[in-house]
Amino acid sequence: MNIFNEAPVTRSVSVSAEFTAVVSDRVPFFSQAVQFDADPNSSLISFIACANAEEISGASKKGFSLVFDKNIKSDTYQVGDANFPFNTVDYFETAALPGLITSLQYKPKSGSFSVMSIESSESKLHYTLSYDFKGVNARNEELKIVGKATLIVLLRPL
């Protein structure tokens, strides 16, 4: 799934990434199944991590979605501050009923994200994140989410 407009492919992309988290009332979250996309019309990039993708029913996935500027600065950011650099942060869970799959998205209500921007070049993107936030869904249900992510993208010309 590409969240941005399609652009001609001019380089290969290799993603080496990992998300871990402790989520309240859930088993620990771990994923190296991470998708990367880049907006061809801006400097926005996205990472989507998914766990339980191999689960038997295929409908009980959990994951993270992040969208931010690839030139993000190293700092600790508070949720709700004017300088909060993430366009999108979601922890999501899907659930299945016979013939129906539904999804709940937990968006940060409070907490912090620490970013270390290690490299942002034409050939490599490398970030580490630590997060500790309270996520709230549309039903006003809350989850406490604490974790880390390492995001490395290697970009090579074709």
91-127: per-residue pLDDT in tens? 999 877 778 888 899 999 999 999 999 999 999 999 9
| pLDDT confidence of residue 61 | 85
Which residues of the chain, if any, have pLDDT below 50?
1
- Residues ≥6 apart with Cβ < 8 Å to 114: 75, 76, 77, 129, 130, 131
Instruction: Please tell me the total count of domains within the chain.
Output: 1
Residues near 51 by beta carbon (within 8 Å), at least 6 away in sequence: 29, 30, 31, 33, 61, 62, 63
| 147 within domain boundaries | yes
Structural domain includes residue 2? no
Q: For residue 3, is it within any domain?
A: no
Is residue 137 classed as helix, strand or coil in its secondary structure? coil
SS3 assignment, position 4 = coil
Q: What is the pLDDT of residue 106?
A: 97
Is 6 domain-assigned? no
Confidence at residue 1, expressed as pLDDT on a 0 to 100 scale: 47
- Domain assignment present for residue 128? The answer is yes
Domain assignment present for residue 79? The answer is yes
Q: Provide the pLDDT for residue 23.
A: 97
| Residue 115: closest CA among 146, 91, 150 | 150
pLDDT, residue 96, reads: 74
Domain span including residue 127: 12-157
Kindly state the tokens that stand for 67.
Answer: 């969208």
Is residue 73 in some structural domain?
A: yes
pLDDT given at position 53: 63
Task: Confirm whether 139 is domain-assigned.
Answer: yes
